[in-house]
Structure 1
């Protein structure tokens, strides 16, 4: 799959799903890279790793307002249970009650119910004995993880479809329809529309061209590039003339509904 195809097939989200994977000394990081790499083709995720023995306190997990973790995946083994004691997770929940805790375990044990009682949201079993082939195991685990993460994406995707002033913008399917006719858009044009839609569903303030450039390219526009002007010009030619409101001082926004 080429990078372009990966971009076109990925669900566009206004916010990434942040995942932290807690590893034990025997963890196979290549396996996790493979599984999460597959999911990243479809969902906008950010995955970081931390090792069990380095977890000393909340600070070591970098829990702060700038890094809200949506999922903790713990590659769990009995010998490390004392490190990840359940009161530790209780403290995490006090700071951020919205994350989900998912355990990877090798096999089913009679006392697994205790993990659910103490805060685990899900358990994924990795032993080959549960699968009839390595290929089916890999396929199952990919889609199992995808289904868990997709719930988070589903909760926040309502801002990805806009029906407004005779235009349908569906960033999930990457589809724009104007007066019942589908309009082709480039990736950059869709990115600009995504930025404007995100603001539209908030306060619908103007978004400066400088801010648009920074969001798309990740850097400040120190060279005074007119690339944003060019993208907006192309969008104006593809959308109804009254769809966008442009102010040379304030920036650009989606025009309010005409009465």
Structure 2
């Protein structure tokens, strides 16, 4: 009985613009990993072509949220204020992120011409380049996701619970959660996003099964016990009189 108002199909729409030397496999691996946490629609375009980008925008019911551009020297000319204004003429809400191999003294010109952030790709800056890129992109996308789904995603103490994808991730691992266990989490997250009130076993039973149960239910005890084992005992706070809530 997941509450319908919290089931939102919103996703983040992304275009990745590649050049002839781009490592497509690297980008696919990164965005595939991030899609464990966030709902993404990623499209790859070879070479920067504003007509092609506009065609993609026109085909979508929703606008593009992010453009990621793997830049090379030949592309530098496109980052002018005129280009940025043209992009805004058919989509005025996007974020523009550039991939560069190295830091240059004149990188400020990108910010002056509308770039929102730069992700540096060189191995000399980070011991684990792929890990850095992965979590840099994740941090950029999460801000948008949190804005879309502030009531449907909980990220807390290494645990990510996504009510839309019905998915639980603990320390980067997907955890198998039964439907009834997930409904318990759904109720607790809704309460957490309000005032983080305790939910009594009676309240949980009624919301999940649709009937009153004024006696203490072993069914709820078992669901909570399994969730503690799967996620973490410390993730929950239990009070014998008040019930349970997210710690």
Judge same fold: TM > 0.5, yes or no: yes
Deviations 1:188-245 (A, max 9, x none): x97xx9xxx9xxxxxxxxxxxxxxxxxxxxxxxxxxxxxxxxxxxxx99933349xxx
Deviations 1:138-170 (A, max 9, x none): 211111111110000010113427xxxxxxx98
1:130 maps onto 2:122 in alignment: no
What is residue 69 of structure 2 aligned with on the other side?
74
How many residue pairs get aligned? The number is 170
Return the match for 1:24 from 12, 19, 25. 19
1:63 maps onto 2:57 in alignment: yes
Contact 1:23–1:74 (Cα < 8 Å) also in 2: yes
Please give the alpha-carbon distance, in whole angstroms, between the structure 1 residues aligned to 2:207 and 2:62: 39
Structure 1 counterpart SS, 2:77: coil
What is residue 111 of structure 1 aligned with on the other side?
106
After superposition, the Cα gap between the structure-2 partners of 1:58 and 1:48, relative to the gap in structure 1 and judged at 3 Å, is: closer
Please give the alpha-carbon distance, in whole angstroms, between the structure 2 residues aligned to 1:159 and 1:237: 18
Give the alignment of 1:27-46 within 5 angstroms: 27-46=22-41
Return 5+ residue gaps in structure 1 as ranges: 1-11, 162-168, 176-182, 198-234, 243-259
What is residue 238 of structure 1 aligned with on the other side?
208
After superposition, the Cα gap between the structure-2 partners of 1:86 and 1:78, relative to the gap in structure 1 and judged at 3 Å, is: farther
1:48 maps onto 2:35 in alignment: no
What is residue 149 of structure 1 aligned with on the other side?
141
Please give the alpha-carbon distance, in whole angstroms, between the structure 2 residues aligned to 1:158 and 1:139: 26
Please give the alpha-carbon distance, in whole angstroms, between the structure 1 residues aligned to 2:65 and 2:105: 28
RMSD, aligned CA: 3.5
What is residue 179 of structure 2 aligned with on the other side?
185
Contact 1:17–1:46 (Cα < 8 Å) also in 2: yes
Please give the alpha-carbon distance, in whole angstroms, between the structure 2 residues aligned to 1:80 and 1:137: 23
What is residue 203 of structure 1 aligned with on the other side?
none
Task: Give, in angstroms, the shift of residue 75 of structure 1.
Answer: 0.3
Deviations 1:63-119 (A, max 9, x none): 226241000000011212335544222122233221100000010111110100110
Return 5+ residue gaps in structure 2 as ranges: 1-6, 154-160, 168-176, 191-204, 213-247
Q: Give TM-score, length-normalised by structure 2.
A: 0.59
Structure 1 counterpart SS, 2:131: helix
Please give the alpha-carbon distance, in whole angstroms, between the structure 1 residues aligned to 2:142 and 2:50: 31
Please give the alpha-carbon distance, in whole angstroms, between the structure 2 residues aligned to 1:104 and 1:13: 31
Q: Give TM-score, length-normalised by structure 1.
A: 0.56
After superposition, the Cα gap between the structure-2 partners of 1:78 and 1:13, relative to the gap in structure 1 and judged at 3 Å, is: farther
Please give the alpha-carbon distance, in whole angstroms, between the structure 1 residues aligned to 2:143 and 2:28: 21
After superposition, the Cα gap between the structure-2 partners of 1:56 and 1:155, relative to the gap in structure 1 and judged at 3 Å, is: closer
What is residue 215 of structure 2 aligned with on the other side?
none
